[in-house]
Structure 1
Amino acid sequence: MSYDATASADPLDLGGVIPPTVTVFADDESVDYESTAAHARFVVDRGVHGVFPLGTNGEFALLDADEQIGVVEAVVDEVGGEVPVIAGVGAPSTRHTVARAERAADAGVDGIVVVTPYYYPLDETGTVEHYRHVADAVDCPLYIYHIPSRTGNALGHATLDALADIDAIAGLKDSSKDVPWLSRAIDEHSDLAFLAGSDSLQLPGRLVGCTGGVSAVANAFPELLVDLHESYAAGDIEHARECQSSLYRVREAFKGGPYMAGVKAALSLRGFDAGTLRSPLQGMDDGEQSQLEATLRAEGLL
């Protein structure tokens, strides 16, 4: 598949709408692999261009290594070969990241997503060596996940320059919400695929050169994001702006409860039971879900 992208260094030509698919838990908080795979099927059947299991919305940091590979295997078995499957494999240590990357590659993913190591602060040398070790361990494209608000480690442009010299690095998912940083990064590395990682920046990200985006809202309403992307690709910027305006309102409604609770609450309103979040994360209460439902109905999404 191809997009209006400059990602000549990206063997997957990654772009379009890529939901960070959810991990479904049973009532006892064990992973429901069948329903997790069913969610990947849910978004693929509604037109998305790839899936990203084990991102932030996949609650990857709350899963152990065996649970993580179980999620990857379930998603690859369900939708692999239909759209690119890029799996999150990041961990605070290089050793654990390499091990998870190797297992994901063995499971048949098309690419891996490596969040910058978190908790401990890193300098440029540590960051570059981390990614170099992971890139050397697997034979598939590697995408950097830049989310400094969660990891505590932001990438400077000089560090990105050094990372771009690693052959396996094909692109970057940027959730910094720093548009000047992103715009400069794209300008200086036009051979890499850049994905906008914030719902608020799906259209603005494309306008500065992103090939597509990773959207939490796309987990529940992939049609809205596909409409935005296709309108933009067709040159209908006015309709793409209308989609982005709706996306602003939907995302704000998602934030009307505990962190990340909106996605699974919205899925339940669509009739897809995505289960609970894993503790200590909490779901929406009845009042919060009612407010969410009112917004979604006003937007014509239910």
Structure 2
Amino acid sequence: MTDRAPQPGTADPLGLQGVVPPTVTAFEPDGSLDPAATAAHARFVVDRGAAGVFPLGTNGEFPLVSAAEREQVVAAVAEEVAGEVPVIAGVGAPSTRETVQNAQAAVEAGADGVVVVTPYYYPIDETAALTHYRRVLAAVDVPTYVYHIPSKTGNELSLETLRKLAEAGIAGVKDSSKDVPWLGQAIDENPELTFLAGSDSLLFPGLQVGCTGMVSAVANVVPELVVDLYEAYDAGDRERARERQSTVYEIRDALKRGPYMAGVKTALSLRADAPDVGPLREPLRGMDETDREQLAADLDALGVI
């Protein structure tokens, strides 16, 4: 039970709260999957206070892995940390058929819940969105969470659609819209759902409007910092939580240096106690030496490495 942080929704059997990092998918230098290092990263964040793990989110490079590799990722992470913390696996795909198959495979591999990103590429209306999520809900008997990230999917869920999804049986929402008014209204109108703040820019504000936890990319690199933010808030120390959010802003800015998505894995390679998670999978690419050196200097100045 938390002290002063918002409580999970009654529709969420897993009771998600606290820090749930979107863990990385590790690759070998040749680009092949590295399940052992993937599991090691999940262990890294859990040992530093993460309350759950979310493999195969954006940081997990989910659009770049095959269906078989997805199952390997979930199995490796579940074998490592399931039973200690909830494992909620990303299963989203553009098609409903593939999403359902991914969800069933994730459950078979040991996932405690599934996270379904709104279908992407093709624009969809409310009827299509409701049908999509209902198909997943009917296919698996584990909590199902909506991943709302319209900037990447091109499909935004209205508050009315979310209300209908709540009636259909979703357990919660991981919101990365960065639309605070939408998030605040969604929480007010659906108190039975669990809401997770999905942007490092809104960890402290997310708690303020009613999120029970946070899916933080920064927590992939410095989980102890984000855990301290949450614990400070839960203990009623708003000033300390706000200070930790300010540090998260600085780390977030540093990680955004260079090519898209390069910051987290580069930063992990700079932490002596972090597992070697290898490169990004192409077409994503890593930092050049200049950006790597500057990131190292930034993180050193912030006391991260």
State the shift of 1:166 in Å: 1.2
What is the distance in 1 between the residues matched to 2:279 and 2:31? Answer: 7
Query: For residues 228 and 297 of structure 2, what CA distance do their matches in structure 1 show?
Result: 22
Choose the corresponding residue for 1:126, options 123, 128, 145.
128
Q: Counterpart in 1 of 2:294?
A: 291
Distance, in Å, in 2 between the alignment partners of 1:104 and 1:241 is: 36
The aligned residue for residue 255 of structure 1 is 256
**1:90-129 pair list within 5 angstroms:** 90-129=92-131
| 2:67 corresponds to | 65
Where do residues 117-196 of structure 1 align in structure 2 (5 Å cutoff)? 117-167=119-169, 169-196=170-197
Q: How far is the alpha carbon of 1:112 from its aligned partner? A: 0.3
Give the corresponding residue for 1:37. Answer: 39
* CA positional deviation for 1:4: 3.8
What's 1:301 paired with? 304
TM-score for both structures, normalised by structure 1: 0.98
* Farther-moved stretch of structure 1 (32-41 vs 268-277): 268-277
CA distance in 2, matches of 1:141, 1:55: 16
**Unpaired segments of 5 or more residues in structure 1?**
none
Dislocated runs of 4+, deviation >2 Å: 1-4
Aligned residue type for 2:124: L
CA deviation after TM superposition for structure 1 residue 6, in Å: 4.3
**Ranges in structure 2 where 5+ consecutive residues have no aligned partner:** none
Instruction: State how far apart, in whole Å, the 1-side matches of 2:16 and 2:168 are.
Output: 18
Q: Which amino acid aligns with 1:261?
A: A
Structure 2 counterparts to residues 195-274 of structure 1, below 5 A: 195-271=196-272, 272-274=275-277
Aligned counterparts of 2:228 and 2:261: Cα–Cα separation in 1: 23
3-state SS, counterpart of residue 144 of structure 1: strand
Whichever residue aligns with residue 220 of structure 2, its letter is N
For 2:76, the equivalent position in structure 1 comes to 74
Q: Are the counterparts in 1 of residues 53 and 87 from structure 2 also a CA contact under 8 Å?
A: yes
Instruction: Count the aligned residue pairs.
Output: 301
Aligned to 2:173, the other structure's residue is in SS state strand
Percent identity reads: 64
Cα distance in 2 for residues equivalent to 1:68 and 1:104:
8
Could you say which residue in structure 1 is the equivalent of 2:21? 19
What letter is aligned with 1:254? L
TM-score, normalised with respect to structure 2: 0.97
